[in-house]
Chains A and B, each alone.
Chain A
Amino acid sequence: MDLSQILFQAQKEARELKNIQQWEDLYRKYLGKKGKLSDALVALKDLTVEERKKQGQAINHFKQELTQLLAKTQDQLRGSLKAGQRFFDVSSPAVKIPQGHGHPIMEIRRQMEEIFGSLGFSVIEGQEVTSEYYNFDALNIPGDHPARDAMDTFWLGQNNQRSESMLLRTHTSAMQVPYMECHQPPFKIIIPGMVYRYEATDASHDYQFYQLEGLMIDRDISIANFKGVIDVVFQRIFNRQIKTRLRPGFFPFTEPSFEIDLSCVKCQGKGCTLCKQTGWLEIMGAGMVHPNVLRSAKLDHSGWQGFAFGMGLGRIAMIKWGIDDIRLFFSGDLRFLKQF
């Protein structure tokens, strides 16, 4: 190929340059150590003296043209990249970098895992579809127990074709006995996960919600210990001094049982719309593990004792961020999700 054709090719390629990287490639291709120019120079040795002289001039011209071309295109490229002498406006908008957001419930879950984890609690996840036995019977809730009414259940169909009736767990407590069946105390665990209840939805009820269960079994675990643990947990979650109070409650799988209230995070207990003027927010149910539950798990109930609790993480997120409708959590609405 003669040099003018190569130059023509180079000019064509130079017009198509888009960035400095491509310019460098072009430079290497023509002026580099193994570029077209050096090819041409190497080829000189095979020529006669006459031809060499003539070709030498052509090569010089070729080199000049190429060097100018590349210098010019480099400047053009640089000029479009670098501000140079031109006016530079730092107030121009930034390049939009897509920013993702975690789900608020998962954010609470993560914080809970972190806080309980640093207290030595293991994170356990169980099955959301479980048996009637683990969800009810093993937790001291036999078939005719009124407590079953309070936990209206989604039953799976075709139960006649299974060895036992299956359902969507109505509470994370359904994981207590399966866990205890294959672990020896002492242990302390949290069980985060989705639970399901067959009920009408409104701003504070949904048929699917996220719970976090806690279970701590050892030789000498008391209500005083339960208070100690939850106090630090809620102080961390809400990042302020929080008062908790226990009042009597009833759960078939704990004895004694209690409900836990938090001093209202909005009004600090003075009374506001969030706490319905009571100064307190209901936050979870808890109690000391019922001997029958330990019996279900074949644990010696006279040797071990401890506490269990269950809270709705949606409820905590609602309190923490002032969310007024529980149904937003599972709406997939980006206007909501992008706020967290």
Chain B
Amino acid sequence: MLFSFNWLKQYIDLTNISAQKVGELLTLHSFEVESIKKNGSDWILDIDVLANRGHDCRCHLAIAMELAAILEKKPKQHYQNLTSQKIALARGKLRPINIKVQSNKQVPRYAALVIENIKVAASPKWLVGYLEAIGGRSINNVVDLTNYIMCEVGQPMHAFDYDKILALSPEREMIVRLSRQGEGVVTLDGVERELTAGILVIEAGKKLIDLAGIMGGQVSEIGPETKNIILQASCFDGPTIRRATKLLGHRTDASDIYQHNIDPNLADLALGRSIHLLKEMTGPVRVVQKIDFYPEKKIAKQIKLDLAQANSLLGVELSRDKIIQILQSLDFVVQKSNSGGKSIVVLAPTRRLDVVMPEDLIEEIGRIYGYKKIPAKMPYINLALPEINQQAAYKNQVRRSLINWGFNETINYVFTDKSSSLALPLQNPIAKDKICLRMNLIPGLAQNIKNNLKYFSAIRLFEIGRIWCQNLNQNKQLIIHEKESLAGVLLSSDGKEPFFLLKGFVENLIQSFGISDIWFDDALAKDESAFLENDFNVRALAQIKIGDRLLGYCGELRDFAGSIAVGFELDLDVLTQETISERMYEPLAKYPSSVRDLAILAPPETKVGQVLAEINESNVLELVDVDLFDLYQGEELDDKKNLAFHLIFQSSKKTLTDREVDIFMAKIIKNLQEKGWEIRR
């Protein structure tokens, strides 16, 4: 919001203080000054008034008051001086306006003056200058005055042409109410607006004449012909105005202020100031009627402030006097208190709607005193160990391993174009291809590979992130499941089967969590892998299992013509639960091991896993390891598979003799032969 440096100087002595210095002080104590630009002999400050001061600080007087408090100066002109303008009522010819406020809740106060015989003309130079300096436009003296008052004291105003209202409503009745669906009004900017229900409007003679708090209607506009006016300075409910601007898709400087709620008492100041300035501009002014609908007068709030609490929260030792001085400089009234000086009772001016509790006062004290002056101090606290966050620690472990193995960490957007009954849809998606929350990480990573193919032929990526799904509970309510997932993808160009490389990484990774009973099963069960078919070639897709528990998937990705990309996805919650962090030392073997080789010829569809399982199930305790070292399938073997293993035997009690190993081998061979596999010798 734009402010004129010269305008501010009307209220506070800023000689010997540059606009830049003022900007810096405001930034550190009140609001950020985003820019300071030269404008002739003036400087224009763009001040980002904070949302909690939108009700009182979007005006020059308030900013000047802030500066007065920061600089510890008395303002030149005070609110009290300005309001001391008494409005004298004159007898006039105009018959009184009847105001009917139908929605009390939305209108805490409706105040207006009926003024007779006004001279509408061009504005004086000073007024035009100020308005234009802050980006405004001069229209005529009456309209400019209302804008000037708004920018000076923060009360939005509006002027109606009395005679135009009289023409609409011979009973001179103005009704303030909420709009009904389908009503229309042509506003001052010439736009015809159709209204939805719930917008605050003013009606005269069955015609809408004003979008209250936002913009006036053309039908009651002030023009050169205007003689008598109704000058309004009202207080409308903030949330109502805010909703209306959203419904209309239209906001104005007035609605920007109103939407924050304003102090209903501000109307007195604004109207008094208007009459004062009107007189200056046009000579004597005849106010013939004062309209004031104000059912519940707002009074100053009393807040008790514990001085020790203030210093404790700020982390400083401010004296009672200093605290009182700061509060008084902001127009707070400090009352005596009989707590032996430990606390004070403070009356906040009614325009400070934001100050309702001690912490609000402490903020005022802190910022005016200056956060800069509060020294940085480490807290004095009892030593305590942080809580263990196992999940976070495990994620870091995964990250370290995968990065060491050449995987690059990526983070993808969580939105997807794939919808299903299990997927969580968004009510307001940001784009047509981002309608649901992702149910797995693989599609994002597959897309990453495709995007990177232009520059890389070997790609390793992983992601750790959230995935979601939903289902109905017994009460037919949708329950959301949010899980932490880990996925990795790999694309290599060296012609080797990448599935087994990835499988090796997956095995290593899982084993690094102390889990040993992992195995890879064919993923055929359609029901649980239904959505996986979109991402994987089911031909080369495995379920990764720990015992009976499904940990995730590993397989070839679909739609990679020309190269083979593989990927895996694991449920990190399962991994965390299955992790065995306790480890025990096993004594080193005392006796040597014996190695025997075993080759079998099996039908082509035989799985290595089956053979391994059979070897292991031969009930030979001394068989400590089995390694496949050759796998061959060829015509000369009648398309059978030749599998060759190293079998390692070892006992913890003695050195095994050849004869003993022969017996073990015989036992194993017998077992395998029973399965119908041929042993090659």
Using CB atoms and an 8 Å cutoff, list the residues of chain A in contact with chain B. 97-103, 105-106, 110, 113, 117, 120-125, 127-129, 144, 146-147, 150, 154-159, 161-163, 166, 168, 186, 188, 194, 196, 198, 207-208, 210, 216, 218, 220-225, 227-229, 231-232, 245-250, 255-259, 288, 290-291, 305, 329-335, 337-338
Tell whether A329 pairs with B411 under 8 Å between CB atoms, given A146-B260, A225-B379, A255-B360.
yes
Q: Which of B153-161, B395-403, B609-617 contacts A (4 or more CB under 8 A)?
A: B395-403
Tell me which residues across on chain A come within 8 A of B371, comparing CB atoms. Answer: 223, 227, 245-248, 258
Which of A144, A208, A228 sits near B376, CB closer than 8 Å?
A: A228
Tell me which residues across on chain A come within 8 A of B243, comparing CB atoms. Answer: 144
Number of A-B contacts (CB under 8 A): 228
* Interfacial residues of chain B within 233-251, with CB under 8 A of chain A in the complex: 238-239, 242-243
Q: Does B75 contact A (CB under 8 A)?
A: no
Which of A127, A154, A335 sits near B455, CB closer than 8 Å?
A: A335
Q: Determine whether the beta carbon of A332 is less than 8 Å from that of B359.
A: no
Report the Cα distance A49→B202, complex, angstroms. 134
Q: Determine whether the beta carbon of B409 is less than 8 Å from that of A103.
A: yes
Report the Cα distance A167→B460, complex, angstroms. 33
- Nearest CB in chain B: distance from A103 CB, A: 4
Q: Determine whether the beta carbon of B376 is less than 8 Å from that of A222.
A: no
Q: Determine whether the beta carbon of B30 is less than 8 Å from that of A248.
A: yes
Tell me which residues across on chain B come within 8 A of A157, comparing CB atoms. Answer: 424-427
- Nearest CB in chain A: distance from B644 CB, A: 11
Q: Determine whether the beta carbon of B372 is less than 8 Å from that of A246.
A: yes
Q: Determine whether the beta carbon of B312 is less than 8 Å from that of A305.
A: yes
Q: Output the residue of B28, B315, B379, B409 with the most chain A CB within 10 A.
A: B379
Which of B31, B54, B399, B459 sits near A106, CB closer than 8 Å?
A: B399
Report the Cα distance A138→B402, complex, angstroms. 39
- Nearest CB in chain A: distance from B473 CB, A: 10
Q: Determine whether the beta carbon of A102 is less than 8 Å from that of B409.
A: yes
Q: Output the residue of A123, A330, A331, A332 with the most chain B CB within 10 A.
A: A332
Q: Determine whether the beta carbon of A186 is less than 8 Å from that of B381.
A: yes
Report the Cα distance A40→B678, complex, angstroms. 27
Q: Determine whether the beta carbon of B367 is less than 8 Å from that of A330.
A: no
Q: Determine whether the beta carbon of B379 is less than 8 Å from that of A218.
A: yes
Q: Does B621 contact A (CB under 8 A)?
A: no
Query: 20 pairs across A/B with beta carbons < 8 Å?
Result: A98-B405, A100-B404, A100-B405, A100-B406, A103-B409, A106-B409, A110-B396, A123-B392, A146-B54, A155-B428, A161-B477, A161-B478, A194-B465, A198-B430, A223-B314, A224-B314, A227-B377, A228-B378, A248-B50, A258-B371
Q: Determine whether the beta carbon of A129 is less than 8 Å from that of B468.
A: yes
Report the Cα distance A150→B52, complex, angstroms. 13
Report the Cα distance A329→B371, complex, angstroms. 34
Q: Determine whether the beta carbon of A125 is less than 8 Å from that of B392.
A: yes
Report the Cα distance A196→B375, complex, angstroms. 35
- Nearest CB in chain A: distance from B651 CB, A: 20
Q: Determine whether the beta carbon of B425 is less than 8 Å from that of A207.
A: no
Q: Determine whether the beta carbon of A245 is less than 8 Å from that of B372.
A: yes
Classify the secondary structure of B's interface with A. mixed
The 10 lowest CB-CB distance pairs between A and B, nearest first, are A224-B315, A98-B406, A222-B315, A256-B363, A332-B448, A246-B371, A100-B403, A227-B376, A157-B425, A144-B239
Which of B312, B375, B378 sits near A229, CB closer than 8 Å?
A: B378
Q: Determine whether the beta carbon of B425 is less than 8 Å from that of A128.
A: no
Tell me which residues across on chain A come within 8 A of B357, comparing CB atoms. Answer: 255, 291
Q: Determine whether the beta carbon of B392 is less than 8 Å from that of A218.
A: no
Q: Output the residue of B28, B313, B402, B437 with the most chain A CB within 10 A.
A: B313
Tell whether A117 pairs with B386 under 8 Å between CB atoms, given A102-B409, A255-B360.
yes
Known contacts A245-B28, A334-B461; can you find 13 more A-B pairs with CB under 8 A? A98-B405, A106-B411, A157-B424, A161-B478, A168-B414, A220-B312, A222-B313, A225-B315, A228-B376, A229-B379, A248-B30, A256-B313, A337-B409
Tell whether A227 pairs with B375 under 8 Å between CB atoms, given A101-B408, A129-B424.
yes
CB nearest neighbor in B for A101: B408
* Interfacial residues of chain B within 405-431, with CB under 8 A of chain A in the complex: 405-414, 424-428, 430
Report the Cα distance A106→B425, complex, angstroms. 28
Tell me which residues across on chain B come within 8 A of A186, comparing CB atoms. Answer: 381-382, 384
Tell whether A156 pairs with B426 under 8 Å between CB atoms, given A163-B477, A255-B359.
yes
**Chain B positions 53 through 64: 1 when the CB is less than 8 Å from some CB of chain A, otherwise 0:** 110000000000
Tell me which residues across on chain B come within 8 A of A333, comparing CB atoms. Answer: 451-452
- Nearest CB in chain B: distance from A25 CB, A: 9
* Interfacial residues of chain B within 123-160, with CB under 8 A of chain A in the complex: none
Q: Determine whether the beta carbon of B406 is less than 8 Å from that of A97.
A: yes
Q: Output the residue of B367, B409, B459 with the most chain A CB within 10 A.
A: B409
Q: Determine whether the beta carbon of A162 is less than 8 Å from that of B447.
A: no
Report the Cα distance A256→B315, complex, angstroms. 13
Report the Cα distance A103→B419, complex, angstroms. 29
Using CB atoms and an 8 Å cutoff, list the residues of chain B in contact with chain A. 27-32, 50-54, 238-239, 242-243, 259-260, 312-316, 357, 359-360, 362-363, 366-367, 371-372, 374-387, 389, 391-392, 396, 399, 402-414, 424-428, 430, 437, 444-445, 447-448, 451-452, 455-456, 458-461, 465-466, 468, 476-478, 480, 482
Q: Determine whether the beta carbon of B374 is less than 8 Å from that of A334.
A: no
Report the Cα distance A161→B414, complex, angstroms. 22
Q: Determine whether the beta carbon of B406 is less than 8 Å from that of A224.
A: no
Tell whether A208 pairs with B414 under 8 Å between CB atoms, given A110-B396, A224-B314.
yes
Q: Determine whether the beta carbon of B376 is less than 8 Å from that of A337.
A: no
Tell me which residues across on chain A come within 8 A of B383, comparing CB atoms. Answer: 120
Q: Determine whether the beta carbon of B405 is less than 8 Å from that of A155.
A: no
Report the Cα distance A218→B380, complex, angstroms. 10
Tell me which residues across on chain B come within 8 A of A120, comparing CB atoms. Answer: 381, 383-386
Tell whether A129 pairs with B480 under 8 Å between CB atoms, given A120-B386, A228-B377.
yes
Report the Cα distance A146→B256, complex, angstroms. 11
CB nearest neighbor in B for A21: B629
Q: Determine whether the beta carbon of B409 is less than 8 Å from that of A224.
A: no
Which of A113, A154, A249, A332 sits near B461, CB closer than 8 Å?
A: A332
- Nearest CB in chain A: distance from B253 CB, A: 16
- Nearest CB in chain B: distance from A310 CB, A: 17
Which of A100, A218, A223 sits near B313, CB closer than 8 Å?
A: A223
Report the Cα distance A224→B369, complex, angstroms. 13
Q: Determine whether the beta carbon of B403 is less than 8 Å from that of A101.
A: yes
- Nearest CB in chain B: distance from A331 CB, A: 8
Q: Determine whether the beta carbon of B374 is less than 8 Å from that of A227.
A: yes
Report the Cα distance A186→B31, complex, angstroms. 33
Q: Determine whether the beta carbon of B359 is less than 8 Å from that of A291.
A: yes
CB nearest neighbor in B for A157: B425
Tell whether A223 pairs with B374 under 8 Å between CB atoms, given A161-B478, A247-B28.
yes
Q: Determine whether the beta carbon of A161 is less than 8 Å from that of B476.
A: yes
Tell me which residues across on chain A come within 8 A of B362, comparing CB atoms. Answer: 255-256
Tell me which residues across on chain A come within 8 A of B412, comparing CB atoms. Answer: 330, 332
CB nearest neighbor in A for B452: A334
Which of A98, A99, A228, A247 sits near B27, CB closer than 8 Å?
A: A247
Report the Cα distance A2→B387, complex, angstroms. 74
CB nearest neighbor in A for B360: A255
CB nearest neighbor in B for A107: B409
Tell me which residues across on chain A come within 8 A of B465, comparing CB atoms. Answer: 194
Q: Determine whether the beta carbon of A248 is less than 8 Å from that of B313.
A: no
Report the Cα distance A269→B359, complex, angstroms. 32
Tell me which residues across on chain A come within 8 A of B313, comparing CB atoms. Answer: 222-223, 256, 288, 305
Report the Cα distance A48→B430, complex, angstroms. 96
Q: Determine whether the beta carbon of A121 is less than 8 Å from that of B413.
A: no
Report the Cα distance A111→B379, complex, angstroms. 21
Tell me which residues across on chain B come within 8 A of A334, comparing CB atoms. Answer: 408, 452, 455-456, 459, 461
Tell me which residues across on chain A come within 8 A of B379, comparing CB atoms. Answer: 216, 218, 220-221, 225, 228-229
Report the Cα distance A237→B385, complex, angstroms. 22
Report the Cα distance A77→B59, complex, angstroms. 90
Tell whether A248 pairs with B385 under 8 Å between CB atoms, given A101-B408, A161-B478.
no
Q: Determine whether the beta carbon of B377 is less than 8 Å from that of A127.
A: no
Report the Cα distance A97→B480, complex, angstroms. 42
- Nearest CB in chain B: distance from A232 CB, A: 8
Tell me which residues across on chain A come within 8 A of B458, comparing CB atoms. Answer: 98
